[in-house]
């Protein structure tokens, strides 16, 4: 089945086509330049940018692939969690297209789609343990199958990505700061005791990164020489050798603190009796592109004798390919929504309220564009 995916949960406007889960093409417009001035995403600006860019992106997608709405078997759209105003732009677009073309509508849990990004083009053995780590969420999940997922632990306050970005803001690094923290701390032996590994003095699988965020801000305030006098212009390559070593050591220590906190909780989940034996480990989300975290996960799965499934770096951030691919999974299972589908803002659980019907599948045709 050919599925059109629409993603507008935060500050990326994206549309994509997947054919039975295989990526065909994607068009994405980033809003980083719009929000960098403010040091974070401004919800009202984000929703306006989604509205402005949606039409041109859809036209470009269909022009590039030579396909049209008539070729699409279903419309999949991120319904949440995310910024409510942003989500509503995507939902309104998907509903209008579904109604006008008489196509099935599938609402997709944004977090579910992130995990499925790690499985695109791969056969994942289930049950599997999943780690979702992003700017707004840090969760450990048990995947009994691609459509049967239980949350084992979640962040109680700030997510790992929030800690990265706020630490970068303390240092006067550009938004999004996690990219700078990763690059500047790479290939440096971390001072492991510089920052705490938060919320480990317990036996649960939940996370709390607010204390770590405060610890970094307090340390930088006490060492004012670490904070840049002038924020560098965002964008372009980052050469760590151009940056002060003292700042790079802070970045390395923060990378270690977050990566090792994730490791401890993942080891705890693997050893938990109620989790049972798992056959693979998946990790996804924007922070899953962090090199220190990827190294930690590679080492963990090697020691445990488990296969590791990580998305391509470009599929770690918000994208529509993961929405379309997850839409294919749901559509093949006959799971759809009506036009009363609602958006789910951050902080609320996305309900499993699908309508059950016949599979939307049909014989697959390779619709990927020819190489140029």
**Three-state DSSP class for residue 184:** helix
Distance CA 320, CA 370 (A): 21
Which residues belong to the annotated binding site for substrate?
Answer: 132-136, 165, 178, 182, 290
Distance CA 80, CA 276 (A): 29
Which residues belong to the annotated binding site for Fe cation?
Answer: 110, 114, 318
For residues 164 and 254, is the Cβ–Cβ distance under 8 A?
Answer: yes
Which residues belong to the annotated binding site?
Answer: 110, 114, 132-136, 165, 178, 182, 290, 318
First to last CA, the chain: 25
- Which DSSP state fits 128? E
Give the CA distances from residue 91 to residues 3, 234, 270, 320, in Å, rounded to whole numbers and listed in that order. Answer: 15, 31, 37, 13
The four Cα atoms 80, 84, 90, 93 give a dihedral, to 10 degrees, of: 130
Distance CA 310, CA 330 (A): 21
For residues 77 and 5, is the Cβ–Cβ distance under 8 A?
Answer: yes
- E strands, the chain, are 2-7, 12-19, 22-30, 74-80, 105-109, 128-133, 138-145, 148-154, 280-284, 308-309, 335-336, 355-356
Radius of gyration of the chain (CA): 21
Q: Which residue has the tokens 């401890």?
A: 264
Q: Give the number of other Cβ atoms within 10 Å of residue 286's Cβ.
A: 25
């Amino acid at each position: 089945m050919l599925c059109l995916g629409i993603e507008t949960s935060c500050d990326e406007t994206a549309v994509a086509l997947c054919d039975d889960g295989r990526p065909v093409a994607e068009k994405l417009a980033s809003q980083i330049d719009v929000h960098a001035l403010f040091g974070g995403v401004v919800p009202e600006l984000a929703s306006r940018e989604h509205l402005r860019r949606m039409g041109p992106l859809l036209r470009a997608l269909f022009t590039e692939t030579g396909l049209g709405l008539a070729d699409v078997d279903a419309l999949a759209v991120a319904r949440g969690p995310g910024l409510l105003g942003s989500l509503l732009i995507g939902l309104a677009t998907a509903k209008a297209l579904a109604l006008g073309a008489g196509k099935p509508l599938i609402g997709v849990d944004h977090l579910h789609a992130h995990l499925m990004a790690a499985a695109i083009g791969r056969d994942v053995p289930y049950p599997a343990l999943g780690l979702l780590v992003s700017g707004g969420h840090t969760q450990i999940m048990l995947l009994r199958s691609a459509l049967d997922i239980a949350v084992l632990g979640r962040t109680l306050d700030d997510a790992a990505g929030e800690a990265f970005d706020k630490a970068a803001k303390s240092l006067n690094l550009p938004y999004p700061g996690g990219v700078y923290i990763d690059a500047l701390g790479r290939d440096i032996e971390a001072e492991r005791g510089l920052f705490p590994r938060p919320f480990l003095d317990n036996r649960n699988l939940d996370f709390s990164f607010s204390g770590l965020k405060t610890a970094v801000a307090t340390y930088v305030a006490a060492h004012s020489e670490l904070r840049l006098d002038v924020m560098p212009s965002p964008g372009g390559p980052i050469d760590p050798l151009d940056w002060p070593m003292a700042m790079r050591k802070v970045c390395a220590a923060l990378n270690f603190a977050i990566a090792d906190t994730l490791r401890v909780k993942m080891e705890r989940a693997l050893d938990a009796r109620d989790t049972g034996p798992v056959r693979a480990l998946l990790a996804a989300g924007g922070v899953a592109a962090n090199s220190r975290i990827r190294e930690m996960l590679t080492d963990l799965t090697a020691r445990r004798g488990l296969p590791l499934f990580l998305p391509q770096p470009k599929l770690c951030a918000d994208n529509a390919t993961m929405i379309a691919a997850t839409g294919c999974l749901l559509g093949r299972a006959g799971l759809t929504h009506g036009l009363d589908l609602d958006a789910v803002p951050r902080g609320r659980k996305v309900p499993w309220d699908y309508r059950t019907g016949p599979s939307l599948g049909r014989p697959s045709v390779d619709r990927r564009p020819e190489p140029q």
